[in-house]
Amino acid sequence: MITALYDLLAPAKLNLFLHVIGRRADGYHLLQSVFRLIDWCDTLHLELRRNGQISRSDLGPALPADDLCLRAARALQTASGTPLGVHISIDKKVPWGAGLGGGSSDAATTLIGLNRLWRLDWSREQLATLALQLGADVPFFVGGRNAWVEGIGEKLTPIELPGAAYAVVKPEVAIPTAAIFSSPLLSRDTSPAIVADFLADTKSFGKNDLQRSAQAHSAEVSQALSLLEHHVGASRMSGSGSAVFACAGLAPGASAKSEGWQQVLATLPQTWTARWCHGLDDHPLSGWSKD
């Protein structure tokens, strides 16, 4: 029997564009977006606890006491009825309040890992249904493929994307997603698009409808957009911010040694984070779930 799983990667995502096309009766927004996995990852370790207890320790920065990994583990334990428990250690590298989906990805990696550790043999679809109760972004990370995303984030169509490098900057400010969705500045009536519209221009299709509200929430978002725009190229926010990115070109041509990126690193405020990322095709654990 497996008793521990080490070094499970939980990758972040970028929203290459994000349109708000409507709102549901319960207040959740109907979106269209393309989610791209990137190689900026948290690392999780899962150790079996036969007494059924679920616990966590933080190897990096401290997380909220009741973080998404614990909530994911408890939800799976209850839904499956397993008598087993787990100790989860997290090395947090992806900044939160960033629109990079770090917490959602941790939750998805927990579900995928525990499905194996607890020998549940749930299908990916079953895991995704449970994932949606944890957050709108979690099913995407369980799906494990770059996707055209609709609904509130749960309708996923896998999509092939070219290899690409992204310059990503996270200002100091952390932006709470709910505040951006409830902003009076938010427009909720962008016309629906179809996948072919995006595929015709994967680098610059569409916009991020949440960007205006986030810029009003914090001037740092506008500063970060300008910094990238000036040194790298067309920039855009991911999710509800505050992280912004610029597609630096198709890999492997684009290089972190480029003068533009070196300028970004040299002029970045000390409290901000910047990272040169590559687009991934799959979640590193995507082979673990049954389709």
Ligand X SMILES: C[C@](O)(CO)[C@H](O)COP(=O)(O)OP(=O)(O)OC[C@H]1O[C@@H](n2ccc(N)nc2=O)[C@H](O)[C@@H]1O
Ligand Y SMILES: Nc1ncnc2c1ncn2[C@@H]1O[C@H](COP(=O)(O)OP(=O)(O)OP(=O)(O)O)[C@@H](O)[C@H]1O
Catalytic residues: 13, 137
Site string for ligand X, 220-259 (x = CB under 6 A): -------------------xx-------------------
Would you state the structure tokens that stand for residue 242, as one six-digit string? 């505050």
Choosing from 44, 69, 130, 210, the residue that interacts with ligand Y (CB under 6 A) is: 69
Rounded-to-integer distance, Cα 152 and Cα 22, Å: 10
Q: Minimum distance from CB of 93 to ligand Y (Å)?
A: 10
Q: Which stretch binds ligand Y (CB under 6 A): 64-72, 199-207, 227-235, 249-257?
A: 64-72
Query: Is 67 a binder of ligand X (CB under 6 A)?
Result: no
Query: Is 137 a binder of ligand X (CB under 6 A)?
Result: yes
CB closer to ligand X, 177 vs 218? 177
118 is in an annotated binding site: no
97 is in an annotated binding site: yes
DSSP 49: E
Binders of ligand Y among 171-190, rule CB under 6 A? 177
DSSP codes of every residue in 185-229: T----PPP--HHHHHTTTTT-S-BTTHHHHHHH-HHHHHHHHHHH
CB closer to ligand Y, 32 vs 104? 104
218 is in an annotated binding site: no
Rounded-to-integer distance, Cα 123 and Cα 30, Å: 26
Exposed (0-12), middle (13-18) or buried (19+): which is 31, by Cβ within 10 Å?
A: buried
> Which residue in this structure is represented by tokens 């890999």?
251
CB closer to ligand Y, 69 vs 254? 69
- Own/partner contacts of 154-160, CB < 8 Å, gap of 24 or more, are 154/128, 157/195, 159/34, 159/195, 159/199, 160/281
Binders of ligand Y among 98-117, rule CB under 6 A? 98-104, 106
Query: Is 72 a binder of ligand X (CB under 6 A)?
Result: no
Query: Is 82 a binder of ligand Y (CB under 6 A)?
Result: no
Q: Minimum distance from CB of 255 to ligand X (Å)?
A: 28
Q: CB under 5 to 8 A by kind: which of ligand X, ligand Y, none does 31 bind?
A: ligand X
Contact 128, 104 (CB under 8 A): no
Rounded-to-integer distance, Cα 142 and Cα 72, Å: 12
Q: Which stretch binds ligand X (CB under 6 A): 114-122, 175-183, 225-233, 242-250?
A: 175-183
Contact 123, 70 (CB under 8 A): no
Q: Which stretch binds ligand X (CB under 6 A): 2-10, 22-30, 191-199, 256-264?
A: 22-30
Query: Is 67 a binder of ligand Y (CB under 6 A)?
Result: yes
Rounded-to-integer distance, Cα 207 and Cα 285, Å: 30
Rounded-to-integer distance, Cα 54 and Cα 124, Å: 22
End-to-end Cα spacing for the chain? 23
163 is in an annotated binding site: no
Query: Is 68 a binder of ligand Y (CB under 6 A)?
Result: yes
Q: Minimum distance from CB of 15 to ligand Y (Å)?
A: 7
Q: Contact residues for ligand Y (CB under 6 A)? A: 63-64, 67-69, 96-104, 106, 137, 177, 239-240
Q: Which residues are annotated as a binding site for ATP?
A: 95-105
